[in-house]
Structure formats: structure tokens, C-alpha cells
A and B are shown apart, each in its own frame.
Chain A
């Protein structure tokens, strides 16, 4: 069974840092690109970042570029999102997401349950 389990969300002050983790199981971790998508409660989905299957290629949304870093530890089957210089507007539920394949347009087939990050003083 494919599982993506996020953790690390908590209350943090503006300007602070936080690292989210996503432990995956049930599939070959090195086969898939992985993403982080966030959602303010009651609002829409917003893509944050992606990392390729080997961890050598990363992309970020403009809103987090230079502040967030995505990485993966193949030995631990874990994807991370290091979030620095956090802002109130980063408050959201963060989902870890698996992309189906490298073929164009295949979408995201598995989503974690999400972890809530609250940035507030």
C-alpha cells in the first residue's frame, strides 16, 4: 500500500524556520518525482516545490524561491521541505504529493494527509 506521511507542522513565529518531513512507503522511492503542495484552510491548492527522482533537480514557486529548500533522503525514503524566513502568508496545510510519472500530464496520484504550518506571533 502506497503511503505518504507528513510531519513537522507546528506554530512558528514570523522569520522562523521549520523542516517538514514526508516518509513514503509502498513504492520504489527513486522512481518518482515528489512535490509539496499547500492549502490555506478553506482556500485553493497552491504548488510549492518539486524534486526529481534522484534529487538532482528542483523547482520552486516564485513565492518561496530563496526561502524554501526541497530535498530527499533515499536511504530514509523521506522528502523534506526546509522552510526559512517564514511569513504569515506561509500559513497552510502542506501536502506531500507523488507525481505519477515523467510522462507529461500524468498528474499526482497519491497525496499525504497534510501537516499544518501556522506562522504567527
Chain B
């Protein structure tokens, strides 16, 4: 049982390049989330999904897109990276309100640097 995994762990991009961060969970959770963590800012929600095929915007969605084609995977895309997107990205998952449980399980993070 791996929990929540994130790929890659580190990445350096040049401004304007694109990339996709992959999140996978093996706990059969309905909900999945993408956060970014910046110094002094805590964790801010980028996008989230309440089920396969559904996505919604969080607090800071601009410049990012997401897809949830399979229940266990949640992809975060940067179409044209900017230095302001330099951050540590965390994926999380949780059960839905209908099945009980509310805490989120986090992945180990992806450290992204945009030069």
C-alpha cells in the first residue's frame, strides 16, 4: 500500500516550457487535490476533484490545468511555466463525506523550479 505517490520529485523548467505532474493513490479515495506551498504562505489549493471525470478550481488555479481520467490518478499541467510557479507541489486525497473520514493524505511533494 503506497498511499499517495507523486512523480517527479524534482524538476527544473525554463520559462515557457510545459510539464505534467502525476499523482497516484491506491486507497480508492474519491477526492483528490493539488496544493502549492510557498514560504510564508502555507498550503494553497490549486484544483481539486470530487470524482473521476470531474475537476474544480481552488484558490490559485491560474496557469494550471488538471485532469482526472481515472479515479486513482490526478494530473496537474503547466502549459507555459513562469518563474512565479516555482514552488513545492503537494497532491492529497481523501474519502468523500458519504463514506466517512475527512483527513487528507498527502504525497511527498514535487519541488519545481522555473528559471
A binds B: no
